[in-house]
């Protein structure tokens, strides 16, 4: 009886074991297939990646973002057309009366009958009229009317700037308005000349510039260079591009980290004169320089171009005892290596300022102190 009842049970256990083995194999195959599918296709459920939650929009006032948020409402893009030419540049609001400061070369193509359109960071646009311009300083003032809630940019003191100070530049490079870049002050007192496309020297600007590595490109001209407190310390005006000299951004060369800005102390004086009188004054010493002189220093010409006296009778230089043939080698404490550099160093001052000049005459070095005269721009 034991044999009759135990044999069938043994067969059932064997069948059960075989069925379990088959199920395990099927499950393994299915599991591998599902795993392979998951690996290839990212799973069978919706993917949700981890992400930071909302943060406060405010940034530290001295950060680039903080400076930009305060300054952008005061920065404008200018579109200028006239005489068959079109151009784009930048400017910034000076006061609530609608005066905007920019570069001379930005608005020059408008002439007397061209069109100047100003676009604010909000997208609002307005027509602008020319108040005054000066090619020697490469500065101009335009004015908008009927625009409410104008926010002037505060002006800093460019004399207080130090090499290495952080700066922020705002402009419209290649017409990309509200572009913000940052860098440092790379150098101060860089003597640069720019312009000269007319060939007669009437459009040459002379700038004792702030140098910066903040990227500046065509369209940045006239825009503000700001310090860490969002105050204007310079007006972006020129760049040096690979393979050429320091030129205003009239061409299409891009930034290589050599940008130049007109110090705001000079810009403020010129802007005030343009607003109040429509013209700017230039400090002068009353001499004609020999611009072909290749030696070191700035040489006073023997004769003026028209054949007259190279030292203006009754002028500042004549009163100080400067003579034709003298070679000026210092303006104040700064070396002068050419006639252009002397003009730049003189224009960094105001009419009426005293200026000490060191010169060479007949192998001797002399020091002369004079009071700068004044010449109105055209």
Query: Which residues are known catalytic residues?
Result: 105, 138, 221
On whether the CB atoms of residues 213 and 261 are closer than 8 A, the answer is: no
Name 15's Cβ contacts closer than 8 Å, sequence gap at least 6: none
Q: How far is 323 from 171, CA to CA, in rounded Å?
A: 46
Cβ count near 86 (within 10 Å): 12
Q: How far apart are the first and last CA of the chain?
A: 134
Q: How far is 165 from 142, CA to CA, in rounded Å?
A: 30
Q: What does each C-alpha distance from 83 to 113, 200, 371 come to in angstroms?
A: 9, 20, 41
Question: DSSP string of 283-323?
Answer: EE-SB-B-TT--SSSEEBPSB-TTSSBSB-TTSHHHHHT--
Q: How far is 192 from 209, CA to CA, in rounded Å?
A: 7
Q: How far is 307 from 130, CA to CA, in rounded Å?
A: 37
């Amino acid at each position: 009886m034991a044999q009759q009842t135990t044999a069938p049970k043994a067969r059932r256990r064997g069948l059960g074991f075989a069925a379990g083995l088959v199920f395990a194999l099927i499950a393994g195959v299915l599991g591998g297939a599902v795993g392979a599918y998951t690996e290839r296709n990212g799973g069978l459920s919706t993917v949700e990646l981890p992400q930071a939650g909302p943060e406060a929009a405010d940034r530290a006032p001295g950060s680039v973002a903080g400076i930009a948020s305060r300054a952008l409402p005061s920065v404008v893009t200018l579109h200028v057309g006239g005489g068959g030419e079109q151009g784009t540049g930048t400017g910034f609001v000076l006061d609530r009366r609608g005066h905007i400061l920019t570069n001379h070369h930005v608005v020059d193509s408008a002439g007397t009958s061209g069109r100047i359109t100003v676009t604010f960071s909000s997208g609002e646009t307005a027509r602008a009229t020319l108040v005054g311009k000066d090619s020697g300083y490469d500065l101009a003032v335009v004015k908008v009317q009927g625009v409410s809630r104008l926010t002037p940019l505060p002006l800093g003191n460019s004399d207080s700037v130090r090499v290495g100070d952080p700066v922020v530049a705002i402009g419209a490079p290649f017409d990309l308005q509200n572009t913000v870049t940052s860098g440092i002050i790379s150098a101060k007192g860089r003597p640069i000349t720019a312009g000269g496309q007319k060939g007669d020297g009437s459009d040459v600007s002379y700038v004792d510039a702030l140098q910066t590595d903040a990227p500046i490109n065509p369209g940045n001209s006239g825009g503000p260079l700001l310090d860490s407190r969002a105050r204007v310390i310079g007006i972006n005006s020129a760049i040096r591009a690979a393979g050429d000299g320091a030129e205003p951004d009239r061409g299409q060369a891009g930034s290589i980290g050599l940008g130049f800005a007109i110090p705001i102390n000079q810009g403020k004086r010129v802007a005030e004169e343009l607003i109040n009188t429509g013209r700017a004054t230039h400090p002068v010493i009353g001499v004609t320089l020999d611009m072909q002189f290749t030696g070191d220093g700035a040489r006073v010409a023997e004769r003026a171009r028209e054949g007259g006296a190279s030292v203006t009778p009754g002028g500042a230089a004549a009163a100080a005892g400067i003579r034709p043939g003298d070679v000026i080698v210092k303006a104040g404490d700064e070396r002068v290596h050419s006639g252009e550099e002397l003009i730049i160093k003189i224009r960094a001052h105001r009419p009426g300022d005293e200026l000490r000049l060191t010169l060479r005459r007949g192998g001797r070095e002399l020091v002369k102190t004079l009071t700068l005269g004044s010449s109105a721009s055209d």
